[in-house]
Structure 1
Amino acid sequence: MGKIYVLDTNVLLQDPYSIFSFEANEVVIPAVVLEELDSKKRYMDEIGRNARQVSKLIDGFREKGKLHDGIPLHNGGKLRIELNHRSFHELQEIFIEKTNDNRILAVAKNISLEEETKPDGKAVILVSKDTLVRVKADAIGLESEDFLNDRVVELDHIYPGFKEIYITVDKLNQFYMKGHLLLSELTKETYFPNQFLLMKDELGGSASAIGIVDEHKKIVKKLHYEGEHIWGIKPRNVQQTMALDILLRKDVPLVTLIGKAGTGKTLLALAAGLLQTEDQGIYKKLLVARPIVPVGKDIGYLPGEKEEKLRPWIQPIFDNLEYLFNTKKPGELDAILAGMSSIEVEALTYIRGRSIPDQFIIIDEAQNLTKHEVKTILTRVGDRSKIVLMGDPEQIDHPYLDEYNNGLTYVVEKFKQEKIAGHVKLVKGERSGLAQLAANLL
């Protein structure tokens, strides 16, 4: 027996192709959902783009028949626009206001009641990314689910970029002498390109070493970074050492860093960028960008010129630059940056559509990007450029994203098998004891 899935608006706004995610079952889109999509299609951000995409998809289905009667989908399922079952009679004593959410619940509940009267009635499931809608559905005895098909990973399976292994002291000594070990000598496990290995003494001794996987040569080799100060800073823990190493590698043009607030993501990336731009001249410019949350929204309502409008959004970047440049007086950093044409700090809104060659690019707060937006950014990276995407997947400000379906997590998982990419999850906060405790407890 098949099932009937009633879709909430937020499912379609998150993934326009979610219609095809329910196999050989019936998918129902309430008429009120079409009204909500229509109100969103003029938005100039990702939500508007998805609303327009869904509208085009549904319009194309009209060629197959009457949408209110139901039309077949290529995956064996069926799509129907629900115009009936709008009666609010069953819910009027529970939910007084006829909000759009309650109207969607009414449609799903009425279909469910109708199916219960049939001898071969189908199970009716409301699919919504809105937690409170699912709570309401449960309260009225209606089965509901979150839409999980857009998740890149499940729960705590986000790739950390490193792995702890235990080997003999002899192998550790061999690693220090030769500078590498054959992967076949360690374990039979499969490793990803540029994955870091934290090798420890299997007998519990204090000896340890950090190496990075060279998939081409099938070895784990010593790090390129040797522990020196870079723009006045030095790694304070193992993961920061790994991050700095991958940030300084010329053969890894894509770096992703994830970690809680205070783990040093922005500071490490800026220091590595300044070294390779200002001191070594590897890149012509250091470009630092941050999404305006919500991403893509116009910030024209703020007073002043473009720089004044952007300052509140990108102030965290300036805070880190003030630390690296060791500025003390107000306006001193602005004077330094004005005299250094090789450093550019922008809002992400203003780098869309550009081709960016020979630059060290840092995208902060990348967890607030959707899959489409992060694809747009990465496809703009020009020759001889390096791009760093970083953020905290647990701090999402986008209404339709979570820890497992955002653009940053998407890039981490899709690129973990590629030789041109490297990733590190920073786990220890170094901002202060208070900041670390707050990140863990709150």
Structure 2
Amino acid sequence: MIRRRAIAAGAILAGTVLLSSCGLSGTGDGGQTGDGGQPKAGGEVTGKVTLQTWNLKSQFSDYIEGVIAAFEKKYPGTSVTWLDQPGDGYEEKLLTQASAGELPDVTNTTPVFSYQLAKEGLLVDLDSVDDSLKATYVPGSLAGFQFNGQKGTYGYPWYLTTELNYWNTDTMAAGDLDAKHPPTTLDELVTQARTLKEKSGGKSFLMSNKPYVGTFTAAGIPVINEAGTEFVFNSDEAVALLDTYREAFKEGLLPKDVLNDDFLGNTQLFTKGSVGWTTAGGNFIGTALESNPSLKGKITSSPYIGTPPLAVQGVSIPKSSKNLPTAKALAQFLTNAANQEAFAKLVPGIFPSATASQANAAFGEGDGTPEGDARVIAFKALTQAKVPEPVQLTGAMSTYVNQQIAAAMTGEITSKEALDSAVAKCNQLLAQ
């Protein structure tokens, strides 16, 4: 699920201490700087640079090597060295490279990774060296590398994923519900979940998820202030949303174990045929059918309820780069529309972040199959999707928030008490 964070809380906190204690703020040992300590990006595109990716070599060597070859052909005199790091321990690797002043010229990052590095002044603010960003990438992907309380953009968006709704048509039919016209709001979802429970004698569930911080974002409820200094998801609107889930749980519209640590999750339950609704990525149907072929012909999709969540990979440029003009050119080339579209065709679950790709019929037109329809819905959602959780939210914060939400849903405390306590704890940890 998109809600899973790309980096553990311990690594975030350890990284902050490590970067600060090593004095790695400012421009590093790069070249001349412009206003605000930003390196100058002007100059000839030539010479050597290093590209670092995250766990791509085993499956996508031909693609990355092809992009590099095409770049070197376009810019004679350039030479790109490709480093690919394993999936496990990537955040620790970045921190080690940062502490040694050895971040590669173009480094694969996520919003969480780039936030930690940018906060210490280690990354180039791309707004200061590239005035084409807004015209080149969909807004939500850029926003993923723009942080509350910190001016600038600290990553070129690369490939994206988002989520949409999936419905089990048999389960819907059992409740006399129309899968062709599924719920489009939370209130409608709860109403139809109630109808299904009544029609099935309490044996079938539509809903099987509990809210998390990203649920507030999806509903358009602010989670953190504009300065990035204070969490604010204890508003009246947030309390009302949690009350809706609280009442639904009390009515028995969700499985009793939805709050347990060992709960399978709504995606797994949907795949098993146990519930009628889930959210997942654009290639979910194929994955679900591999696990449960009996679902064939029984899955339909619809747009996400509220603001779709966005997961984004990107590439950042460290201030320590000794060849900023070529690093910038490589980052732009890697993330241009043509190269992103080629990558997305290799990986069905991802989409390009380039605005030009929105006009590509290969992504925006379905093939008449449920799988094709789902991918079109996901693709069209990219222009509205946004990263659901602020980068300031650590794993420790999420754990505490989830505990308070669970306590509210079971009736131990009120929704207001739960969110007040959660916000207070998050702000205490944020201040540290």
Which protein has the bigger strand share? 1
**TM-score, normalization: structure 1?**
0.28
**Structure possessing the higher relative contact order (Cα contacts under 8 Å, 6 or more residues apart):** 2
Q: Which has the larger radius of gyration?
A: 1
